[in-house]
Each structure stands twice: as C-alpha cells, then as structure tokens.
Amino acid sequence: RSPSRTGDLYARVIIEVPRKLSKEQREKLVEFGKSCGDTDLSAEEGFMGKAKRFFEGE
C-alpha cells in the first residue's frame, strides 16, 4: 500500500454511564441529549430514547 492513499479508519468507542445519578446529574444528561437534537440517524434509537429507557430501568 502506498502511504499517499487514503482508506477507512475504524475506532472503537466505549461509553460508560453511571447507573446511579443524582437528580442534578440526570437533569444535565437529559439537557445534553436535547441539545444534541438526536441527529444521529445511523442509530436505531436516539439518545433521548436510550436515556429514557435507562432511567426507567428497562
């Protein structure tokens, strides 16, 4: 392979969210999700849906 050629770059990202959050932490996390606008169209479920399921204990 030539170093001048471009190709795919893969990255593995692991995000850990604490199971127990204070009320203030929970509010800030939900606020962050709203500010993102759930624009990740590649995901089956948006951030807010995942956060809702997480906090409801599903």
In degrees rounded to 5, what are phi and psi of residue 56?
Answer: -85, -5
Question: Could you report the per-residue pLDDT of 2-58, keeping only the tens digit for each?
Answer: 777 788 888 898 888 778 889 998 888 888 878 877 555 455 567 777 777 777 775
| pLDDT in the model for residue 3 | 72
Three-state SS for 15? Answer: coil
Instruction: Please give the Cα distance from 28 to 30 (Å, whole number).
Output: 5
pTM (predicted TM-score): 0.39
Number of Cβ within a 10 Å radius of residue 47 = 19
| pLDDT in the model for residue 38 | 59
Going by the DSSP 8-state scheme, the letter that residue 44 receives in this structure is S
Tokens 């050629």 identify what position? 5
| pLDDT in the model for residue 24 | 94
| pLDDT in the model for residue 7 | 82
